[in-house]
Structure 1
Amino acid sequence: MIGIGSGGPSTDEASTLAEAHAGSVILLGNTQAGSTAVKDVTRAVRRVVAAPHGIQVMLAADQEGGLVQRLQGSGFDRIPSALDQAQLSDSRLTRDAESWGEQLHRAGIDADLAPVADVVPASLLNVNQPIGRLRRGYGSDPRTVAAKVTAFTTGMDRAGIATSVKHFPGLGRVRGNTDFATRVVDSTTTRHDPALRGFAAGVRAGVDMVMVSSATYSRIDPDHPGPYSRTIIEGMIRQDLRFRGVVISDDLAGKAVSGLSPGQRALRFLDAGGDLVIMGDPGLAPAMVRAVRAEARDDPEFAARLTTKVTRVLTMKERRGLADCG
């Protein structure tokens, strides 16, 4: 999933999307241009990407609400922050999310990388940079978070929009932001932590993707950040949550995972059990693609695992009307 500007692909970005045969594209950066302009962008992306017959590129956005609503302007409601959404009844949030999803669908967006299931303790609301200070979480009570994650996911699903619950196993207990800090450590969360309730609720509600946090969890796997941890992906997501959908990374251009080459970042994530890489810096995407192709060519076992991962992504696309796998 390659990131481009919300105003549409530049010449270089268009070249990258074509070269990488991007299966998914995320619109990054805020735009006030409105739904019609975003529709033009999504059409332009689909013209640029040479998708195989019967398979379409998936267009995604971060449309959480509040300070994280990438697509704005005419045709898009102003979505309240998750903290404000939590004040709505579950039924009202489901209806609202369905309406917000319909607006995305009309603009050519297929996936909303939301909802946020991170639980931020009340004592950390003002110092937790990735979630609390931005009002991105549904609250400090795991039961409330689970209910609102379910309501949001259900509404988006009714509108035909894929969703991604994030950031597993939680960014609510850290202080630093993995996009900007080279090492972010959660020293509290455990494998069977009650704060994971929102993620489990999202899986039960039929979420299409689970996004893995780039933080390191010292009480779960102190030796690997989330995207490179088999314990987190294969153990917790696949075994504990029994999730059979797509495991997606957070942006692997983030500082917390920048110590490796782009190719190694992709390979480590895939080897740990992940399926779909987000790369917010399009200039790094071709190196990732080349590394994965080379590994698949040289290692038949890796190639077989890669086929399983591709099948998960295509199954998700078929569910959302983006692929005909018949």
Structure 2
Amino acid sequence: MNRHIPLLLLLVLILAGEACSQDKSAETTEEKISLDQKIGQMLNVGFRGTALSDTNHIVRDIQHYHLGSVTLFDYDVPRDTALRNIRSPQQLKTLISDLQARTETPLFVAVDQEGGNVARLKPEHGFPASVSAQYLGETDDTDSTRYYARRTARTLSELGFNLNFAPVVDLNINPDNPVIGRIERSFSADPQAVVKHASVYIEAHRNFDIATTLKHFPGHGSSKKDSHLGVVDVTETWSEQELIPYRRLIHSGRADIIMTAHIFNAEWDTAYPATLSKPVITGMLRDSLGFDGVVVSDDLMMGAIRKEYGLKTAVKQALLAGVDILTFGNNAIYDPEIVPETHNIIRELIDEGTLSRQRIDESYRRIMELKKQLLIP
């Protein structure tokens, strides 16, 4: 009987080794899934379609790549048509409900509903009329601001939106600014007035569990050009007062999300615009202003980024800078493969050691903390 002990011992060792190998394999798979889920939460994309079909790439992006955020538009710029995502209140409510039904982790469903000239929900499609930030600033009546902000927030909530890419807190320093002043997106040139009306706007949205977004950090109001078209240099026009709304709203606890600006200032960074700049996002916003909430990029498909940097460089620099959510609106150009492409780039950056897993974990924590506050019971 003793002579069988070595054989039994060998069998036990073999089985133990197989079990250990299976455990390691399971751990590797679990780690991979966990990392993929975190990366997915860091992506925000636009897509075509007023109803959801299984063949739409957005379904794949949500289910396979764990996409965390989508942005809806009323107009498809590449096709120059009003047929994009929004046709009527009931259609839109169904679309958003169907999107959320495809995922276990609730999506941020975002829209640019600033009011006035930048409003995706328009009266011709059955939505309430809105007014511009400039109108509210010139009226300078907080009751009026509260009325219109509550109407917007209530509409968004009833439709199923949970994130508004507003308010704009850029100062109206240059009224001829083609992307801010000229289209009435700023409350005022006075930072105190901007803080006053933005605070009312934010609180009205919070009453309906709608997250808001301060934009465009660190201030787009003094620019002379449109960053949708190319690089905008504000080295000679930007001033420190443009940080006042951010500082005060952050310190008062009213900053849910902050959106970056694709503007260049040699005083901040001699190599990259704000969205891709660590001195701006980590140094200025995180360290100096003390913001530890979610930072979302403006659309990385806009001309200021797309025409100057390749996709990998833009993704790498934005993440190294400290951006948490990368936005690809798919409305300057349209790329149905942008999510898998970006996902693979981030994995490559991690594998090659350019980007740490800790950096991914930081963004994932910020995103999920905000989602738990708003979306997850």
Q: Quick one: which of 92, 104, 109 aligns to 1:38?
A: 92
Sequence identity (%): 25
What do residues 92-141 of structure 1 show as CA deviations (whole Å, max 9, x unaligned)?
Answer: 323431231121011010100000011122xx312x11101111111211
Distance 1:149 1:264 in 2: 34
For 1:37, the aligned partner's letter is Q
CA contact (8 A) 1:153 1:206 kept: yes
Asked if residue 257 in structure 1 is aligned to residue 311 in structure 2, the reply is no
CA RMSD of aligned residues (A): 2.2
TM-score between the two structures when normalised by the length of structure 2: 0.77
For 2:93, the aligned partner's letter is K
CA contact (8 A) 2:50 2:86 kept: no
Distance 2:229 2:67 in 1: 25
What do residues 201-254 of structure 1 show as CA deviations (whole Å, max 9, x unaligned)?
Answer: 332242210101011122222321111111111111112221111011000001
Q: Quick one: which of 144, 151, 165 aligns to 1:113?
A: 165
Distance 1:266 1:295 in 2: 9
In structure 2, the residue matched to 1:20 is: 65
In structure 1, the residue matched to 2:109 is: 59
Q: Quick one: which of 81, 84, 87 aligns to 2:135?
A: 84
**1:278 partner SS:** strand
**1:221 partner SS:** coil
In structure 2, the residue matched to 1:280 is: 329
**1:167 partner SS:** strand
For 1:185, the aligned partner's letter is D
Which segments of structure 1 move beyond 6 Å, counting only runs of 4 or more?
none
Distance 1:16 1:76 in 2: 30
Distance 1:43 1:107 in 2: 9
CA contact (8 A) 1:143 1:198 kept: yes
Mapping of residues 39-188 of structure 1, within 5 Å: 39-47=93-101, 49=102, 51-52=103-104, 55-73=105-123, 76-86=127-137, 87-121=139-173, 124-126=174-176, 128-181=177-230, 183-188=231-236
Distance 2:370 2:305 in 1: 27
CA contact (8 A) 1:2 1:17 kept: no
TM-score between the two structures when normalised by the length of structure 1: 0.89
Distance 1:140 1:301 in 2: 39
**1:197 partner SS:** helix
CA contact (8 A) 2:111 2:165 kept: yes
CA contact (8 A) 1:226 1:232 kept: yes
What do residues 37-79 of structure 1 show as CA deviations (whole Å, max 9, x unaligned)?
Answer: 21111123224x4x34xx2111000000011001234663211
Moved more, 167-176 or 8-17: 8-17
Distance 1:6 1:61 in 2: 15
Mapping of residues 267-306 of structure 1, within 5 Å: 267-281=316-330, 282-283=335-336, 284-299=338-353, 302-306=356-360
Mapping of residues 229-268 of structure 1, within 5 Å: 229-258=277-306, 259-268=308-317
Residues 67, 8 of structure 1: alpha-carbon distance in 2 compared, 3 angstrom cutoff: farther
CA contact (8 A) 1:297 1:303 kept: no
Question: How far apart are residue 300 of structure 1 and its match?
Answer: 9.2
Aligned length: 314
For 1:34, the aligned partner's letter is S
CA contact (8 A) 1:120 1:131 kept: yes
Q: Quick one: which of 43, 50, 59 aligns to 1:7?
A: 50
In structure 2, the residue matched to 1:199 is: 246
Higher fraction of strand: 1
Where structure 1 has 5 or more consecutive residues not aligned to the other structure, the ranges are none
